[in-house]
Amino acid sequence: MAGYDSMGFFFAIFRVLFGGGRRAAYPFCFVLISLLSLCQAQDAPKRIEAEQIVGLVARLGSSKFAARESAMELLSLSDEKLLPELERALNGLTSDDLEVQIRLSGIIARIKNDRKQNQIRLFLRSIDRSETQGFEGWRSFSRVSNTSRNAKMLFLMLLDTYPELVFAELTTKKEALDKARDIAASINEKNMNLIGSELPDALAMLYCFNVADDLTDRSLERLSARTFGTAPFSPFMNDPQSKKSLERLMSGWSTRIEEELPRCLMLFVERDYPQAKEVALKMLGSDKIKTESIGFIRSMQAIYRFGSQADLPVVEKWLDDKSECINIPLQGFGNQFAPQVVYTAEYRDIALLVSMHLASEDFMTEFPRFKPHILWGFSEESVLLPLNSEVVRSNRIENWKAKRKASTKI
């Protein structure tokens, strides 16, 4: 029965239509409320019980179409609690019950999908950062990413392809590294079949790399660099909803890798990720950088763009390095009538430009050919000087050192 909350409404109708007092209205109101309750009861979907399932499944195989449809309709009202009984019934079917299998499998799939969608809604709405709603992998994923809703959405992108990473926590570094190797094997197989890796593949590998921490595998590092640097992951790095969480994951990855550093640097610079500086600093600290001039230039350009004054000590270590990194003949910088002149750049030239920039000093007088670059901050042309410009180089570097020394005493 609808209850007495609606009684006042029916009293008012009765008095308007028939007149009379409150007592005379009681029978009329009770009749109306009873009819309303009966209609509501008829409209409410029926719920079936566990003991009905065997009989209803048997009716799915009836020779009568109406019986099959009726059983299907009733079984479709099953809720999640009946899922074990439904799956037992499905497993008990024989190969002769093909139509029954198809119908019952569809019902089970719908219930599981409803359960999954509800689980996802509760997970995304939860304000308790430790609440997993059964997605136990969130415990390890949130440690290496962050606990924002956007990070949760990023995490759920693994659900269909790598459910084991969503429903189970990665508890050890070795477990994470082993899983990264499994993912790598899958990526290699897709590449061999000319399919190419998918977004969840790259994301799963990135996640496992972060959990693996200092455990590493050089072949995996090379594969990850190639995978992250190509579609679909590379363009996804600029997704506005995922970028903050991805930056945290990419930072963890970049600080651990030793292979393919120039490729990684290019990836971060192109995607406007501040982690480019971390890779640049690592490259500058390697022994190879003294013989890899292009690596030195790109590292300094990345620091120019993403660095801060705190990075000055690293950059200024190169102010005395006279190693040549550029040597090209130019026709007077575009003047076809000017004589051809050999222009050069040394490590110390680039270090001086980056140092002055990080210190927020005006460097245009020292580098009048400065040319900005949309990706790398400045073009290599900015630091070129004619061959045999030792006096110019020495003077401006000594002046800068003196200025820096005076500023540190203040």
User: How many Å apart are CA 253 and CA 251, to the nearest integer?
Assistant: 5
CB atoms within 10 A of CB 253: 21
DSSP lists the bridge partners of residue 344 as 327, 385
Per-residue confidence band for 378, with pLDDT thresholds at 50, 70 and 90: very high
Tell me the C-alpha distance between 142 and 155, whole Å: 9
Residue carrying structure tokens 């593949």: 201
pTM: 0.76
Other CB atoms within 10 Å distance of the CB of residue 28: 16
Q: Say what the pLDDT of residue 177 is.
A: 96
| Whether the bond into 232 is cis, omega within 30 of 0 | yes
Say what the pLDDT of residue 250 is.
95
DSSP H or E stretch at residue 372: strand 372-373
pLDDT in tens, 199-247: 999 999 999 999 999 998 899 999 999 999 999 999 999 999 999 999 9
Domains of the chain (ranges, CATH numbers): 4-43 (no CATH), 50-125 (1.25.10), 130-259 (no CATH), 273-410 (no CATH)
CA distances (Å), 368 to each of 328, 341, 364, 383, in order? 18, 17, 5, 9
Q: What is the pLDDT of residues 262-278, one digit of tens each?
A: 999 999 999 999 999 99
Q: Residue 183 in contact with residue 165, Cβ under 8 Å? A: no
Confidence of residue 41 (pLDDT cuts 50, 70, 90): very low
Q: Which pLDDT band, with edges at 50, 70 and 90, does 363 fall under?
A: very high
Banded pLDDT at 96 (limits 50, 70, 90): confident
Instruction: Name the band, by pLDDT with cuts 50, 70 and 90, for residue 36.
Output: very low
Place 7 in a pLDDT band, splitting at 50, 70 and 90: very low
Distances (CA, A) of 71 to 42, 95, 325: 19, 20, 80
- Model confidence over 113-127: pLDDT tens digits? 888 899 999 999 988
Q: Give which of 195, 263, 193 is closest to 224, Cα–Cα.
A: 263
Tokens 């429903």, located at residue: 167
Task: Answer for the pair 225, 263: CB distance below 8 angstroms, yes or no.
Answer: yes
Tokens of 227: 């995978």
Query: What is the DSSP annotation of 57-101?
Result: HHHTT-SSHHHHHHHHHHHTT--GGGHHHHHHHHHT--TT-HHHH
Distance (Å, whole) CA 165 – CA 170: 7
